[in-house]
Structure 1
Amino acid sequence: MAAKKILMLVGDFVEDYEAMVPFQILLMVGHTVHTVCPGKKAGETVATAVHDFEGHQTYSEKPGHNFGVTTTFEEIKAEDYDALVIPGGRAPEYLRLNPDIIKCVRHFADAGKPIAAICHGPQILTAADVIKGKTCTAYPAVKPDIDGAGGTWCEVNATASNACADGNIVTAPAWPAHPEWMRAFLKVLGSTIEP
């Protein structure tokens, strides 16, 4: 397996597990991961939130850890990266308003590079208009965004542990899907992991 250089988009109140766990998994298998946040420099942090499923009509939210920004967003070049990861939480709802984020995401989609998005992360994909004709999943509240962007909705299973891969795009509904989501993303990356 050739190691890949992966870009991860984060922002304040990104979902804690959805940033930390993929970051650690991808490093563990030998990839390089640069975390970036518009307006923050390498060495700074973003606040995270832990979203949990406790029987309410929607997820609950608790303070998470601080998550390190390793690279300054304003200095990156998307063409230098092999793949993109977009965690969920509340960060995607405002990151998608940044035209430089949209330009970055379109680069990965137009080049056919692997993209992994989870939970609310697909909100950035819909804003970038890159999922038309693609089958995707996300946190169920994002279904109208996917439908409106011309994507085909992949139903979330009862435990929110499924992932959906369509070509270069791998999506999942929430952190319980990490095993399936990361397994599918590693396959798209060309990484081999023994079961």
Structure 2
Amino acid sequence: MSGKQLLMIVGDFVEDYEVMVPFQALQAVGHEVHTVCPEKSSGDSVKTAIHDFRGDQTYLETRGHDFEVTATMSEVDPANYDGLVVPGGRAPEYLRTYDAVLETVRHFFEHEKPVAALCHGPQILAAADVLDGYEMTSYPAVRAEVEGAGCSWVDGVTTDRNLVTGQAWPDHPEWIAAFLDLLGTDIQHGEPVVAD
């Protein structure tokens, strides 16, 4: 397998698990992942937020880690990337106000490249006006926004053409696996070897 070049759009208070886990998992199977944030340069950090589900009407939010941006958005050409990852958290609500973010998202849809969006990430896709006619999911509280953008909302991890979506970080195993399928990633599994 030849690794793909992937772009991940992040921002302050991106959901901690939704950025850390796919960033590491995609690298673990041989892909190169560049993270970008408007107004931040390579080597800068964004703050993450941890969203936990404890039986309340909505999630509980606490401060997470610092997550390093690995590339400078103004220097990145989306044409050089094979796929896009859009994690959730609170970042999407303001990232969708940046023209550079919306133009980047549109590139991946115009060229039918694989896109993985999770949780509140579809807020950015809705603002980019790329969801018309798609079947997808999102965090349930974002359902009205994405339906307003022309999609058909379903309850569960969904793949439609170039787009794979999940509701939140508990969907990681199925969501990441579906994205790897879209990317054409071939992972060989062998029998585990246990040392004596």
Matches within 5 A, 1:1-195: 1-155=1-155, 162-194=156-188
Task: Work out which of the two has the higher radius of gyration on C-alpha atoms and give 1 or 2.
Answer: 2
| 2-structure distance, mates of 1:145, 1:171 | 15
TM-score (norm 2): 0.95
TM-score (norm 1): 0.95
Q: What's the CA shift for 1:146? A: 1.2
* AA at the equivalent of 2:5: K
SS at match of 2:132: coil
Q: Deviations over 1:34-89 (max 9, x none)?
A: 00000001001000000010111100100100001000111101111110000000
SS at match of 1:141: helix
| 1-structure distance, mates of 2:56, 2:138 | 18
| 1-structure distance, mates of 2:74, 2:170 | 32
SS at match of 1:126: helix
| 1-structure distance, mates of 2:103, 2:142 | 21
| 1-structure distance, mates of 2:125, 2:2 | 26
Q: Where do 5+ consecutive residues of structure 2 fail to align?
A: 190-196
* AA at the equivalent of 2:153: W
Q: What's the CA shift for 1:194? A: 4.7
Give the count of matched residue pairs: 189
Give the superposed CA RMSD: 0.9
**Percent same amino acid at aligned positions?**
57
| 1-structure distance, mates of 2:187, 2:60 | 33
SS at match of 2:35: strand
| 2-structure distance, mates of 1:101, 1:63 | 24
Q: Where do 5+ consecutive residues of structure 1 fail to align?
A: 156-161
